[in-house]
Amino acid sequence: MVAACQDPRIEELRGATAQLHRRLAAHRTDFPDRAVAEEELAALGAMAREGTPDQGRLRRSLLVVAASLGSVSALATELTRLRAAVELFDTGAPG
| pLDDT at 32 (0 to 100) | 87
What global pTM score does this model have? 0.86
Q: Which long-range contacts (CB under 8 A, 24 or more apart) does 18-23 make?
A: 18/45, 19/78, 19/81, 20/65, 20/75, 20/78, 20/79, 20/81, 20/82, 21/45, 23/74, 23/75, 23/78
6/74 Cα distance (integer angstroms) = 31
Q: What is the mean pLDDT of each run of 10 residues along the chain (95 residues)?
A: 68 96 92 92 93 90 94 92 95 58
